[in-house]
Structures are given as structure tokens and as C-alpha cells.
Amino acid sequence: MGSMSKSVTCGPIGIFDSGYGGLTILKHIRETLPDYDFLYFGDNARTPYGTRSFQVVYEYTLQCVTRLFEMGCPLVILACNTASAKALRTIQQIDLPKIDASRRVLGIIRPTVESIGELSSSRHVGLLATPGTVKSLSYPLEINKLYPDIRVTGESCPIWVPLVENGESQSPGADFFVRRHIDNLLQKDPLIDTIILGCTHYPLLLDKIRQYVPEGIKIVCQGEYVARSLGDYLQRHPEIDSRCTRNYACSFLTTESVETFLPAASVFLDSSRELDVKSVTL
Ligand code: DGL
């Protein structure tokens, strides 16, 4: 660090996740902002982050953000709740001013939380997320800053990310774990009328989640809210927007091998199109 060029850099928007989950966010962002260029970075060799300590998640995330800056990204989205919960604040406040104060790093918790006020009538909201995100209390803290009357109850689902990462999201075995955590959550607070899927992997389990969530309870998937909020952000910040290149391009970096990344990424992107993927070491 420190050697990075501080001249005005133009390039793709960086989208970071610990693994494949951020691809669910990328998909929505590309639908909303199709002409912008994107560089997705999955730290697939070190995923999952959800069960790791604050310090480790922070260090890993900073390494990946730094790499995306080196690749020319003026703006990086942490498309990972765990990284947004555990690393965003420190990177924004401590690291960014030292690396290059003209670039930006944004998370995905705030844009998700903003939607909750108008969705919940009972003012009882549930959160399904990784142990790291639940323990960080980032969701209740952010929600209560905007809506102090909302009560947030969290349930950690440590098995859900491995189920998705291992291609088991449609298997009968997944039903057991999906149901268990939904039941646990609703037992803790039966008045919940809105459930946030606070992990980017969970939309891949949506069919099963819908099956076990009683009718009338809303399920919040983050992608559309994050995409809309990024569009607003770029409109409000022309100094960043003008540095984001627009050639309809999208490429991918992974800390795993290309052979491992490709088939899994196609599942998340729901696409069989050829992807431009490179393997990187940190
Ligand atoms: N995709 C990450 C999130 O949104 C979690 C995956 C992981 O545990 O690394 O929290």
C-alpha cells in the first residue's frame, strides 16, 4: 500500500464479496445500470467470512479492496453483509484517507435498511444472516438510527452459506436447515411481519425460504434496493460517476482457480454466457 497512484483514476465499479453471493447483487446492479463497467472480485479461496473474527474479516476485505483499487476502480461496493458489518467503517475512516481519499467504498447494509420503515406494519422485523453479521449488531443499530420504534430479532444461519457454496441449495437436505432457522426466528418473536435476508447467498435459497415462511410475512432480498441506491448515489455524486467507465463490460477476479469459479458463478448469475475470469493471488 502507499504506492498506489493518487492521480484521478477512471475504471470499472468494483464489486467485492467473500465468495459467490455478491453475484446476486451484481446481477441486479447490472440490470439497473447496464452501461457501466464492473469488476467482480470473489475471495473464493478464503470463503466463508461469516464465521471469522472481526480482525480477519477486516484484513481480508482490505486486501481485496486494495487490489480492486490497483485495478483502477474508483468505487468499490462491499457486496457482502459480513464485510459491510465488520470492515466497512474502519476502511472508510482509517484506510481510505491513507490509500486515496478520492475513491469510495460503500456497503450494502444501509441501502437495505432504508427500505424497512415502509415495509413493516407490526414494527417487528426479523434478520436471517451469518453469525458474524448477527453478532455485529449492525442491522439493529442501523435500523434503529432511522426507525427507533422497530424491534429487530436476529437468527444466525451458519449452515446456509456452505449449503449454497456447495451446490446443495435445491437438495432435500437444505429443507431441514432452512426450516429450522425460520422456525427459530419466529419463535423468538411471533410478531415479525418482515424478514430481511441479510446475506447475499440467501436469494439462492429463496424457493425453500418462501415454503417455510408463513404467508403474509414479507421477505426482503437486498439486490434491488442496493442497485437502486447505487443509481441514486451516482446521480448525487457526479465527481465519482464521471470516473466510472461505461462500455457495458463486466469481468471477474477470483482467489480460487478459474475452473472452480466458472461453473459456480454461472449458477449464481443464471447464465451460460462466457465469463471473462482471472485467478489472482493476494
Ligand atoms: N455473502 C456473505 C454475506 O453477505 C457471507 C458469506 C460468507 O460467510 O462468507 O454476508
- Residue 258: the pLDDT is 95
CA–CA distances in Å: residue 200 to residues 122, 141, 206, 238: 25, 20, 11, 28
Q: Is 169 in the pocket of ligand 1 (CB under 6 A)?
A: no
The residue from 64, 73, 157, 199 that is catalytic is 199
138: helix, strand or coil? helix
Q: What angle do CA 11, 86, 174 make, to 5 degrees?
A: 95
Q: What is the pLDDT of residues 247-272, one digit of tens each?
A: 999 999 999 999 999 988 887 887 66
Q: What is the pLDDT of residues 33-51, one digit of tens each?
A: 999 999 999 999 999 998 8
d(Cα 255, Cα 196) in Å, to the nearest integer? 29
Q: What is the pLDDT of residues 101-112, one digit of tens each?
A: 999 999 999 999
What is the value of pTM for the model shown?
Answer: 0.92
Percentage with pLDDT > 70 across the chain: 97
Q: What is the largest CA-CA distance in the chain?
A: 55
48: helix, strand or coil? coil
Q: H-helix or E-strand containing 142?
A: helix 138-146
d(Cα 89, Cα 100) in Å, to the nearest integer? 16
Q: What is the pLDDT of residues 168-217, one digit of tens each?
A: 889 999 999 999 999 999 999 999 999 999 999 999 999 999 999 999 99
- Residue 2: the pLDDT is 46
State in Å: Cα 178 to ligand 1 middle: 16
d(Cα 177, Cα 7) in Å, to the nearest integer? 50
Q: Is 47 in the pocket of ligand 1 (CB under 6 A)?
A: yes
